[in-house]
A and B are shown apart, each in its own frame.
Chain A
Amino acid sequence: MESAQEKLRSEVTELYESRPYPPIGTWSLLASGIRWEERQTLNYKAAYAAAYGTTAGAALTPRILVAGCGTFEPVVVALANPQAEIVAVDLSGRSLRKLEWNIRLRALGSRIATWKGDVEELPESFGAFDFVVASGLIHHFPDPAKGLHSLTKRAGARGVFRLMVYSKWGRSLLYGAKALAAQLGVRTPAEFRRMIDTLPADHPYRVYFYLYSDARTDSGLADGYLHPCDRPFTALGLKDLLANAGIEASAFLHAPSGQPEAANGFALLPEAGGIWERLQVLEALGELQENFRLFARSTKAEPVKATSWEWNEALPEKGRLYSHLLGKELTFDTSMPPSAFSEQARSELAKAFFLLPGGTP
């Protein structure tokens, strides 16, 4: 007999088989390009540098696992990590076929391998990974703690992580509408849109629905509002989840208003209150405005000694780029030594683009 968890897994598979996500149009993407900020926050060296304060000791040809990859993310990961070897895993064969088309189109087939199945059952033969990317996956595991453990055990000694996890408070209006839909027996995107139209025009569920850009497509709407297994986290819940899995956050990839220190502008937290307590304040006040996005590392990993500076290879040589993390544009020139910059400029570049000390391990 099928267990409750197996049943949920079947329902999740069915969701993505019928509506692969994200619903990326190949040609529209070619036209619009891929945002630089995505590359920065999907870059292995950036995650490593955030974890260890240096790029010394980082793998030269990193092995990257993209878990719950969907139809497109591994392509962005490949562009963000030009030397990497990537394994992309998803439950949905139809999503993977769309991904494979995108991979072939960009001639990335030699660097990205796909595997269909549950990441918890990824064969040992795939080996250990330097960087594990799980964007929008952990909250969809029937048992998030077990699911996260299945990812951490695949990371090598100095493996690093890039996670995106749903925020309970950030999505509370979505969950309200989802609960109403469940009560009304709404099952399809078309029925859901009809239900939204029956709410008053100023109803917060309806306003949020209009702001939820994914809801413009059936796949996005189903992923957000009709998902059979969706377990969001509060900041403190996520803190516990990570701690139990033996990993810790090394950087939050939120806009400035969602960075932990932004909480100091609202409340005087006791000294004992750490980054997660500050995030919880921001989350409750609605200041986070997005899901949790973070780099993480194992709590047991040894520190790395740095001897010089190194620039992030995912960046162009010089120029002016907008930083989502700082909320402003920065100018930089990699031909200039770090000593040519002021302390503040170095600190901003480190935070925005993960320009950090490097050298020989």
Chain B
Amino acid sequence: MNLGWMYASDLPLPSGLKLELVANGIGEMGRRRLATLAQLLGQTEASRVADAAGAYELDDDLAGEVKLRGGVLGPSNEIRALSPNQWAGQSQASSLEDLRSRLEREEGKILGLMLNPDERTRFLAFLARNQVDPDSAPEEIVSLARHFFSHEPMNVVVRYTGPRFHHS
């Protein structure tokens, strides 16, 4: 299958393109929660409080309910996405909104996603089951991927064409 927006992680990125690490939707929620705390407590104290709050774990009754219905939880019934001690780790990735603003300023463009073989299989199956045209625009695909992937940040492939990149 030759999808214009898909870049394989085991192949070199074509010249002129760049990878941007972008938080998925779940990671973005954590970043925003941390930012909310930082507004009240300051950055250092917010990070300390989030770390000290630890993991978000369901009690046995709720965990049983989730498992009974086919859901899967982490060790100790953790919902990692909600665990405050995971939020700081999301901070190296940009938000998709920030990336879009930067691309607009610098006349760049989202071209697609870099995926490893496992991610590729799972994401294409998700698109197919939701009847999404796999030839959709890269922007739309990245928006969907942002919801689909919930663990690691996404590798978004972009091309910058603005003056900064012509002259640097």
Which A residues form the contact surface with B (CB < 8 A)?
169, 172-173, 176-177, 179-180, 183-184, 194-195, 198-208, 210-211, 234, 266-269, 273, 277, 280-281, 284-287
25 sample A-B contacts, Cβ–Cβ < 8 Å, listed by A number: A172-B29, A173-B29, A176-B25, A176-B147, A184-B144, A195-B130, A199-B148, A200-B72, A202-B74, A204-B80, A204-B81, A204-B82, A204-B150, A205-B147, A207-B72, A207-B73, A207-B79, A210-B69, A211-B65, A267-B49, A284-B36, A284-B37, A285-B50, A285-B84, A286-B33
Q: Tell me whether A284 and B73 are in contact (CB under 8 A).
A: no
Q: Do A281 and B49 form a contact, CB below 8 Å, given A183-B143, A184-B132, A201-B70? A: yes
> What residues of chain B lie closer than 8 Å to A207, measured between beta carbons?
66, 71-73, 79
Q: Tell me whether A210 and B66 are in contact (CB under 8 A).
A: yes
Closest to B35 in A: A284
Closest 5 CB pairs of A and B: A204-B81, A202-B72, A180-B147, A201-B72, A198-B129
Q: Tell me whether A198 and B130 are in contact (CB under 8 A).
A: yes
B13 interface hit (Cβ, 8 Å): no
> What residues of chain A lie closer than 8 Å to B40, measured between beta carbons?
267, 269, 273, 277, 280-281
Q: Tell me whether B74 and A281 are in contact (CB under 8 A).
A: no
> What residues of chain B lie closer than 8 Å to A285, measured between beta carbons?
33, 37, 49-50, 53, 84
Q: Tell me whether A204 and B79 are in contact (CB under 8 A).
A: yes
Among the listed B62, B80, B122, B129, which residue makes an inter-chain contact with A211, where contact means beta carbons less than 8 Å apart? B62
B1 interface hit (Cβ, 8 Å): no
Among the listed A204, A234, A267, A280, which residue makes an inter-chain contact with B45, where contact means beta carbons less than 8 Å apart? A267
Q: How many B residues, CB 8 Å from partner?
A: 42
B52 interface hit (Cβ, 8 Å): yes
Query: How far is A316 from B138 in the complex, measured between Cα atoms in Å?
Result: 63
Q: Tell me whether A202 and B73 are in contact (CB under 8 A).
A: yes
> What residues of chain B lie closer than 8 Å to A173, measured between beta carbons?
29, 81-82
Report whether over half of chain B's contact residues are helix, strand or loop; otherwise say mixed. helix
Query: How far is A280 from B32 in the complex, measured between Cα atoms in Å?
Result: 13
> What residues of chain A lie closer than 8 Å to B144, measured between beta carbons?
180, 183-184
Q: Tell me whether B66 and A211 are in contact (CB under 8 A).
A: yes
B56 interface hit (Cβ, 8 Å): yes
Which B residues form the contact surface with A (CB < 8 A)?
25-26, 29, 33-34, 36-37, 40-41, 45, 49-50, 52-53, 56, 58, 62, 65-66, 69-74, 79-82, 84, 122, 125-126, 129-130, 132, 140, 143-144, 147-148, 150
> What residues of chain B lie closer than 8 Å to A284, measured between beta carbons?
33-34, 36-37
Chain A: minimal CB distance from B73 (Å): 7
A-B contact count (CB 8 A): 102
Closest to A267 in B: B49
Q: Tell me whether B71 and A286 are in contact (CB under 8 A).
A: no
Beyond the given A173-B81, A201-B72, A202-B74, please list 17 additional residue pairs across the A-B interface where CB-CB is below 8 A.
Answer: A169-B36, A183-B140, A184-B130, A184-B132, A204-B80, A207-B66, A211-B58, A211-B66, A234-B36, A266-B52, A267-B37, A267-B40, A267-B45, A280-B40, A281-B49, A284-B36, A285-B50
> What residues of chain B lie closer than 8 Å to A169, measured between beta carbons?
33, 36
Q: Tell me whether B37 and A281 are in contact (CB under 8 A).
A: yes
Closest to B56 in A: A286
Q: Do A286 and B84 form a contact, CB below 8 Å, given A202-B72, A203-B150, A277-B40? A: yes
> What residues of chain A lie closer than 8 Å to B79, measured between beta carbons?
204, 207-208
Closest to A280 in B: B40
> What residues of chain A lie closer than 8 Å to B73, measured between beta carbons?
202, 207
Chain A: minimal CB distance from B76 (Å): 14
> What residues of chain B lie closer than 8 Å to A234, measured between beta carbons?
36
Query: How far is A172 from B45 in the complex, measured between Cα atoms in Å?
Result: 23
Query: How far is A179 from B29 in the complex, measured between Cα atoms in Å?
Result: 13
> What residues of chain B lie closer than 8 Å to A266, measured between beta carbons?
49, 52-53
> What residues of chain A lie closer than 8 Å to B25, measured between beta carbons?
176, 179
> What residues of chain B lie closer than 8 Å to A281, measured between beta carbons?
37, 40-41, 49
- Most B CB contacts (10 A, CB to CB) among A173, A207, A281 go to A207
Query: How far is A180 from B129 in the complex, measured between Cα atoms in Å?
Result: 14
> What residues of chain B lie closer than 8 Å to A203, measured between beta carbons?
148, 150
Q: Tell me whether B49 and A280 are in contact (CB under 8 A).
A: no
> What residues of chain A lie closer than 8 Å to B150, measured between beta carbons?
200, 202-205
Query: How far is A301 from B58 in the complex, measured between Cα atoms in Å?
Result: 42
> What residues of chain B lie closer than 8 Å to A201, measured between beta carbons?
70-72
Query: How far is A103 from B97 in the complex, measured between Cα atoms in Å?
Result: 50
Q: Tell me whether A199 and B26 are in contact (CB under 8 A).
A: no
Q: Do A210 and B65 form a contact, CB below 8 Å, given A176-B26, A284-B37? A: yes
Closest to A235 in B: B36
